[in-house]
Structure 1
């Protein structure tokens, strides 16, 4: 189980810009990490009202539970519990399955885990690139009939990270386009369908 302050900078990309970044970082022959992200909330959106998101992320052979609560535009508290196996996406939520820190979050926020329901599911293909200023993630996400592309930089220093990202985008003549969180983009798309 890990608890951390996540610091990330994201920009939306066109498909053309996404392809250029794949070529720039020589990723065309590298297999991406496939993630299936299943988000949960209560019917009255208690998590959303508290600027939080809760998901089960499924990989090929493992999975992880994550709760994120926004602290500022670029930072969030993130609690993650890794599982050494891929959980069934229809698993019944319980304190034992979620672990003590995630369960404590729900207790502190007075959210009954029995009231949580699946809200959004999206699949992301991710290419990770280690850089001096952190970890770049080049993402292609699919939800419903929508495909979008983003570049995100997880960094320990937001100022230096922004300088690095601006320099990279300028070098490739890619405009910075503020990116909402994936769950927000998928939710907005679902409402407009």
Structure 2
């Protein structure tokens, strides 16, 4: 189990801006650092969404992580993680015992959410290139949804004030506007509604 305060800045990119940043960091011929398959779960009445939270199963090549993200504000979320030593096949319903971490279970219980009521909502496949910097780590993402795809630049940091200044300065060099992007889950929901 792990708990962390996630602080991130993120902007959506056009495909051309994405390619421009790949070239800038000389990553255009590089495979992504991470390929991940995210499966999201919620109740039929969107109980997690109602409290600005999300439950995600993230599968990597050889492992997986259950995460509850609980938004605190536009830039910060509390995250609770359960790391699994193997990948897990996403199912429509979560199997009994799949989530066993005390903090994840406590969060669900405190919000009157039963595991058996959680259903799969969205799938997102993301290719991610990571670029460490002195004030955090950039993540350049290409995400594919069931009916759309998008591009995003994220900056995860522990120094939000300094990082905000650096992030704005960096993206301005490429003509990218500072407008905090919605979460991937929010975007998946919108793409689904407009398909």
**Above 0.5 in TM-score?**
yes
Q: Which residue number in structure 2 is paired with residue 21 of structure 1?
A: 21
**1:5–1:76 CA contact under 8 A, matched in 2:** yes
CA gap of 1:98–1:188, structure 2 versus 1, over 3 A, is farther
Please give the secondary structure, in 2, of the residue aligned with 1:85: coil
CA root-mean-square deviation: 1.3
Q: Secondary structure at the match of 2:99?
A: helix
* Structure 2 alignment gaps of length 5 or more: none
2:42, 2:161 → 1: CA distance?
A: 33
Q: Which residue of 2 aligns with 1:127?
A: 129
Q: Report the Cα distance in structure 2 between the residues aligned to 1:192 and 1:45, rounded to whole angstroms.
A: 19
Contact 1:134 1:155 in 2 (8 A): yes
Note if contact 1:12-1:176 (Cα within 8 Å) is conserved in structure 2: no
Question: Does the residue aligned with 1:172 lie in a helix, a strand or coil?
Answer: coil
The residue number in structure 2 matching 1:30 is 30
User: Distance in 2 between the 1:77 and 1:109 partners?
Assistant: 15
Partner SS, residue 185 of structure 1: helix
| 2:184 corresponding residue in structure 1 | 182
- Correspondence for 1:192: 194
Residues 54-133 of structure 1 mapped to structure 2, 5 A cutoff: 54-90=55-91, 92-95=94-97, 97-133=99-135
Residue 44 (str. 1) matches residue 45 (str. 2): yes
Q: CA deviation at 1:173?
A: 2.6
1:191 shift after superposition: 1.2
Q: Is the contact made by 2:63 and 2:85 (CA closer than 8 Å) also made in structure 1?
A: yes
Question: 5+ residue gaps in structure 1?
Answer: none
TM-score normalized by the length of structure 2: 0.94
Q: Does 1:4 align with 2:4?
A: yes
User: TM-score, normalization: structure 1?
Assistant: 0.95
Q: Secondary structure at the match of 1:103?
A: helix
- The equivalent of 2:169 in structure 1 is 167
Distance 2:94 2:77 in 1: 26
- Quote the offset at 1:88 in angstroms: 1.5
Cα offset for 1:178?
2.7
